[in-house]
Amino acid sequence: MIEENVSLPRIHYLNSHYGWKSWLFTTDHKRIGLLYMVSITLMFFLGGFFALLIRLELLTPQADMFTADTYNKFFTLHGVILIFFFLVPSIPATLGNFLIPLMIGAKDVAFPRLNLLSWYIFVIGSLFTLWVVAVGGIDTGWTFYTPYSTTFANTHVIAATLGVFFTGFSSILTGLNFIVTIHKMRAPGLTWFRLPLFIWSLYATSIIQVLATPVLGITMVLIAAERFAKVGIFDPALGGDPVLFQHMFWFYSHPAVYIMILPSLGVVSELISAFTWKRVFGYKFVAVSSLMIAIFSFIVWGHHMYVSSMSIYAGMLFSILSYLVAVPSAVKVFNWTATLYKGSVSYDTPMLYALGFIGLFTIGGLTGLFLASMGLDRHLHDTYFVIAHFHLIMVGGAVMGYFGGLHYWWPKMFGRMYPEWWGRLSALIVFVGFNLSFFPQFIIGYLGMPRRYHVYAPEFQVLNVMSTAGSSILGVGYLLPLVYFIWSLRYGKVASNPWRAKGLEWETTSPPPPENFLEQPIVTEEAYNYPTRPAQPGKQTGKLTGGLNPPASPTATATGTGREAEVV
């Protein structure tokens, strides 16, 4: 889409203050969002680099690139970095921080200083982890299973667990901030069921962050304590119970999967609506399904432990609950599909990411059903089938959503557009590379290749080669946006609301002024209130009425949107 005669606003949040202090001591949620973005991008490419090394090693059945120990450190760092330092903070800390106040018509989040603190805590946690990478790594797997992690591992477990512990606080503070912000800072007239679905999903995510992350913190502290003080909580040699650790760990780490995917679900709801110019079908169902997922996510942790000597009756309960949590996820997919019906579907980059997301999330979710079934999990547990499943959800889901959101709100953040053609290409490459990487892994998994093997039986090789080929394509797909986004900061075409999308965040200038809105916005309509044309059998096209074009300046009153900008 091309906008005519748009110019950047004279003052916006990027140029209102200058100097490194104005960034490091800022309390502006938009700047903090960008700080987060820079830090997690570094972590993303570091973790991705480890992923490529892992796939390279798996080209052949023998260990011909790395020793066993090195390989173990690589997959551990790949997991720890990408889960705790990229996926968990990705959408909430960047897009969430940037957009929540804009979307609800607030000047900032509820606790701006706390927001900055959470970034500093995140950086401290990251530095711990980077230090671990620098001095020799950790080889316990990101799951830190005891008693290996507490007694037998000779790597930097304590430093890594402390890093994760610190980052947990950043996650808790972010969640706390969002909950209070969404409760108390909404613009007049913005009722709960007028909120954008992105806000709903972040609200659900924040609940999980606040309630689940402390358990991870405690667990990490207990591991560290067990390592240096021999407390005897997990190590059976000291009278502990190793399976207790698995319960405590998954009590956080299963909800954590939903911390990663829920924001993406929200982003995709926004994208589908914006690129069909249509209200999301079954808005209330989609909104409530986010909360349902958040609630159910707390009571399914045991499905990671069917074969861990847990009681089979407990296993049965966790199995049935795991199927229940799949229902709201399925509802979202069906509703997005129904939203496309009779929409006005454009093929801009964010939409391609969103459609790719739906495909991957569907396959990822459905393969989760296989693993939730006790009888099948007895075969599939800890095989590559599991790897493929959770990568489809976390990478195919969370990362596709994150990238889609970045492309969609990029002009909002910087007032400039990325090159559209390259964007579509990257969406396509990521989708193809992703499927080629992980589809063969389902087959390898059912064949019985266990996870975390650097040497494997020769009959698995052909599929592993496919997977490695896919991962290199995926790597290219991830590097492209890095290049053209940086390019667009200077040379991109100036844009304000190139999608002609609705929502409070588009009611202000792009990039927004430091205080977000020059006047207090007042909401008088439902979310996604796009004008429609009467149902037509033919191929006639309705003319666009006023209201989709953003106001030329924030002081002008938008006509026909029902939102009256009033001086308060």
**Is 277 an interacting residue with respect to other proteins (CB under 8 A)?**
yes
One residue of 15, 22, 524, 532 binding other proteins per CB under 8 A = 532
Sign of CA dihedral 241, 79, 350, 98: positive
CB atoms within 10 A of CB 138: 25
Structure tokens at 327: 């229902």
Q: Is 307 among the residues that bind other proteins (CB under 8 A)?
A: yes
Regarding 432 and contact with other proteins (CB under 8 A), the answer is: no
The dihedrals phi and psi of 450, each to the nearest 5 degrees, come to -70, 155
- Considering the complex, state which of residue 6 and residue 202 has its C-beta at the smaller distance from other proteins: 6
Among 342, 524, 557, 564, binds other proteins (CB under 8 A): 342
Q: Which listed residue (130, 182, 374, 399) binds other proteins by CB under 8 A?
A: 374
- Residue 542 as a binder of other proteins (CB under 8 A): the answer is yes
What element of type H or E holds 286? Answer: helix 283-296
Q: Which residue has the tokens 């394509």?
A: 473
Q: How many CA atoms lie within 13 A of 535 on its CB side?
A: 2
Candidate residues 78, 381, 412, 563; the one interacting with other proteins per rule CB under 8 A: 381
**Partners of 383 in beta bridges:** 450
Does residue number 19 form part of the binding site for other proteins (CB under 8 A)? no
Q: Which of 355, 406, 474, 527 binds other proteins (CB under 8 A)?
A: 355
CA distances to 10, 96, 122 from 127, in Å? 37, 23, 9
378 is an interface residue for other proteins by CB under 8 A: yes
> Tokens 């059903």 — which residue?
369
The reply on whether position 68 binds other proteins by CB under 8 A is yes
Using DSSP, state whether 216 is helix, strand or coil: helix
The Cα diameter of the chain in Å comes to: 77
Q: Which is nearer to other proteins, 278 or 407 (CB)?
A: 278
Among the residue ranges 13-21, 45-53, 65-73, 166-174, the one whose residues contact other proteins (CB under 8 A): 65-73
Please, what is the minimum distance in Å from the beta carbon of residue 544 to other proteins?
A: 4
The answer to whether 443 contacts other proteins (rule: CB under 8 A) is yes
Among 25, 135, 136, 152, binds other proteins (CB under 8 A): 152
Number of residues interacting with other proteins: please give it, by CB under 8 A.
Answer: 106
Backbone φ, ψ for residue 494 (5° rounding): -65, 135
Considering only residues 5, 7, 191, 541, which one is a binding residue for other proteins as defined by CB under 8 A? 541
Phi, psi of 291 (to 5 degrees): -65, -40
Among 77, 105, 132, 139, binds other proteins (CB under 8 A): 139
* N-to-C CA span, the chain: 34
Q: Which is nearer to other proteins, 21 or 543 (by Cβ)?
A: 543
Nearer to other proteins, 184 or 379 (CB): 379
Convert residues 280-299 into a mask of x (bound to other proteins by CB under 8 A) and - (unbound): -xx--x--------------
Q: At what angle do helices 461-491 and 29-57 cross, to 10 degrees?
A: 150
Count the neighbouring beta carbons within 10 Å of the beta carbon of residue 385: 25
Q: Is 306 a residue that touches other proteins (CB under 8 A)?
A: yes
